[in-house]
């Protein structure tokens, strides 16, 4: 599995449709302060199903929508698509390429698609759960997160280990069954 492309429209500082193609190997993103480097990572987290606006450095999810700049008016929605290479069958879906899209409207409504089919937001987080890309996993390590993990309560730390071990899926199901 490999990230192939990231497309943004109306997400944070990206008021114009913007695409990033990741070639095999290491990609480094460089640019001046405030140019949107961290926003790109927020966009990846957003598609992975992040539901907590603060994890995306906003106070509400609506704050993710491009609010305008000196040159360009604000937009009505933000949309991010992640294109993943699945030729190795990493995701148990019958596609060699998986395209995951999430959109959020300024009024807070949201929508998501996997390879063009509408899905629930929960389906996005479930797709990535236990893959190492799930919430609380270490595929993305933010500034200060290593320190935070060390300082974390033991229960919170366990979530991280469960995701690494690939057993969070089962715990989530158990929790859902108990809630029914
Ligand atoms: P640094 O090198 O300082 O870490 P960076 O390249 O990581 O900078 P980001 O944090 O990605 O920069 O981008 C910050 C910019 O994004 C700010 O200028 C902020 O105004 C802009 N921004 C954030 N949310 C929105 C939004 N909803 N609409 C328009 N611009 C936004
Ligand atoms: Mg930054």
Ligand 1 site-directed mutation target among 8, 13, 69, most atoms within 8 Å of CB:
13
Question: Is 53 touching ligand 1 by the criterion CB < 6 Å?
Answer: no
Distance (Å, whole) CA 16 – CA 10:
7
pTM of the model: 0.88
Report percent pLDDT > 70 for the chain: 98
Q: Is 33 annotated as a binding residue?
A: yes
- How many A from CA of 87 to the centre of ligand 2? 32
Q: Which two tokens stand for residue 154?
A: 């033991």
pLDDT tens track for 37-73: 999 999 999 999 988 898 899 999 999 999 999 999 9
Taking CA atoms only, the protein residue closest to ligand 1 atom 12 is 34
Q: Which two tokens stand for residue 129?
A: 């759960």
- What ipTM was estimated for this complex? 0.98
Q: Which two tokens stand for residue 159?
A: 């979530």
What DSSP character marks residue 172? H
Q: Which atom of ligand 1 is nearest to the CA of 63?
A: 27
Tokens 């990535």 found at: 128
pLDDT of 85: 96
Distance (Å, whole) CA 75 – CA 64:
11
Q: Which two tokens stand for residue 180?
A: 């029914």
């Amino acid at each position: 599995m490999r990230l192939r492309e990231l497309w943004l429209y109306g997400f944070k500082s990206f008021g114009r449709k913007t695409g990033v193609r990741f070639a095999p190997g290491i990609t480094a993103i460089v640019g001046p302060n405030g140019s949107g480097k961290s926003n790109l990572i927020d966009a990846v987290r957003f598609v992975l199903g992040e539901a907590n606006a603060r994890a995306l450095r906003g106070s509400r999810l609506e704050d993710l929508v491009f609010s305008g700049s000196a040159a360009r008016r604000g937009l009505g929605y933000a949309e991010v698509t992640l294109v993943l290479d699945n030729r190795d069958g990493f995701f148990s879906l019958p596609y060699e390429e998986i395209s995951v899209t999430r959109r959020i409207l300024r009024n807070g409504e949201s929508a998501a698609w996997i390879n063009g089919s509408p899905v629930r937001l929960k389906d996005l987080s479930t797709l990535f759960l236990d893959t190492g890309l799930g919430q609380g996993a270490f595929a993305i390590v933010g500034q200060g997160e290593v320190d935070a993990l060390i300082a974390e309560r033991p229960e919170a730390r366990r979530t991280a280990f469960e995701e690494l071990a690939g057993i969070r899926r089962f715990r989530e199901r158990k929790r859902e069954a108990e809630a029914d």
